[in-house]
Chains A and B, each alone.
Chain A
Amino acid sequence: MIGKKQRTLTSKISSGNPEKFAFSARCGCKLPSLECALSKFPRKFFVSQQALVEIRDVNFSYDSRPILKGINMTFHKGKVIAIMGGSGCGKTTLFRLIGGALRPTKGDITIAGQNIHQLDQHGLYAMRRKMGVLFQFGALFTDMSVYDNVAFQMREHTDLPEEMIHDLVMMKLHSVGLRGTHALMPAELSGGMARRVALARTVALDPMLILYDEPFAGLDPISLSVVGASIRRLNNALGATSVVVTHDVQESLKIVDYIYFISDGVIVAEGTPAEIEASDKPYVHQFVHGKMDGPLPFHYPSSDYRQDLGVSV
């Protein structure tokens, strides 16, 4: 019964009833339902001072090699936060620590008031059901169609009837502009499309926290802009908190509320996009403007150049 109701609602939305779905009709974005309405509210509406994620004095080492040293961060509800830094600076490790895939050698990570590294397997899985993770290249299940990929979590974690799952999947795919691809296999999608399908799958269960690992890597400028806009729009629509691990400065400055820069395992700079753009800190300046040399040296540490070339000193 619920499924039928839902189907009727969806068909009404797609036919564009001007009275009941005034938001969709007025803006012309063809976004159905609540999602369109919510995306029109000012960003500050969603930004609360309540912290969703708190990272306190986190240290992490692989064997005896320190990767992260005394990291402190706070992610407020409704915000989009970027964690930036050069390759190998420890940002992906931090990403995996937040997801509970790694355990810090020291310090705490609290999500919605719960220290995730003190949770047992059952508790961790319960927490992960409230989280969405977008992996670097989408990590779509290659043996399932686009539709089944997006429906995956709904089938695994809910008892929703298949009719309702159908409607929800179509709405999620519609929100990333790929409703027409539902019957395709991941191998038939372009890189940008695969990333957008993965985005739809990530928000399938309306998570409170969304983690993005290099969501802009390897995308053409159009796909990059579409993915960036989708991240912001979905965050606003769901009232979620998003953490974007990336080194794409220009795209991130457009969509995020706050930026942390990590270098060599420590936070070297942080601030709003405007503060970061105006910053005269050498590291931030080098990173934002893509300078070849600076605090991050161009040359890997090596012995004397003349000595390597066999030239007598």
Chain B
Amino acid sequence: MPFIQSVQQIGHRTVNGIWRLGVVSRFFLLILLNSGASFRRFQLTLRELFFTGVMSLIIILVAGLFVGIVLGLQGYETLKSYGSESALGTLVALSLVRELGPVLAALLFASRAGSAMTAEIGLMKATEQLAAMEMMAVSPIARVVAPRFWAGVISMPLLAAMFSAMGVFGGYLVGVVFIGVDEGSFWSQMQGAVDFQHDILNGALKSLVFGIAVTVIALFEGFDAPPTAEGVSGATTRTVVQSSLAILLLDVVLTAFMFRGI
């Protein structure tokens, strides 16, 4: 009977997964319906923007700088063998703006801000703060969840843009300042190759989608966490794992649509 049992288990997990997807969608809808206060009382969202956006800035900027430096070093070695070192600026900028900026910034955002959101809301639930709010006739979705959601959605594209800008600076630093690639061709080729709509706007759109995915997953996991230490810890882990997988999966889909025109 082990075969039947494994089939049963697969079936159970599939049904459970679909059911959970439905619950997440409903949660997302509830956030949108309860978003009025996040804009009417924008200071609530502004406060969360500080914690999710501004507090994530250091890790985003440092990671962007290092990724740019590594891209500059690796790119230079490869381009040199074809005698086209002057295209280093193009390589660095396109890699960052199209792919690495949105994806890596979103992965870092999920680890830093997403996990913090889950832990905070999970603990608020475990210590009955959300129940207290509900009993005070204040909707926790409108007061706690929605401002965090909009803060995540607003800050994600900005963080990705800063990641890319810092990366380009890192590539410039290593390529032009240390290796000696011509500064004029570094910037002019970059300017000629990077298209505002095709590259920059598509990259921003990607980071916006990642921002929505990461914050919805993080907020849902926190809100749904069993009110115990183990429950909150498990929810935080699930946030990081599921967000990372969602980012990579969405990236494949979005890249296919944006750059191959499927």
Contact = CB atoms under 8 A, between A and B. Distances in A.
Interface of A: 99, 101, 124-126, 128-129, 131, 133, 135-137, 139-143, 152-153, 156-157
Interface residues of B, number: 15
Which of B135, B138, B143 has the most C-beta atoms of chain A within 10 angstroms of its own C-beta?
B135
B129 interface: yes
Interface of B: 120, 123-124, 127-129, 131-138, 143
B132 A133 contact: yes
Nearest to B120: A143
A139 B127 contact: yes
Contacts of B134: 101
Contacts of A125: 137
Contact of A139 (B132, B137, B143): B132
A133 B137 contact: no
A135 B136 contact: no
Contacts of A142: 123-124, 127, 129
A124 B139 CA distance: 12
Contacts of A133: 132, 135-136
Contacts of A136: 128
B106 to A, nearest CB: 25
A133 B201 CA distance: 50
Contact of B137 (A101, A126, A143): A126
B137 A157 contact: yes
B137 A135 contact: no
A86 B141 CA distance: 34
B138 A135 contact: no
Closest 4 pairs between A and B when the two form their complex, measured CB to CB: A125-B137, A139-B132, A128-B137, A139-B128
26 contacts: A99-B135, A101-B134, A128-B137, A131-B135, A133-B135, A133-B136, A135-B128, A135-B131, A135-B132, A137-B127, A139-B128, A139-B129, A139-B131, A139-B132, A141-B124, A141-B129, A141-B132, A142-B123, A142-B127, A142-B129, A152-B138, A153-B136, A156-B136, A156-B137, A156-B138, A156-B143
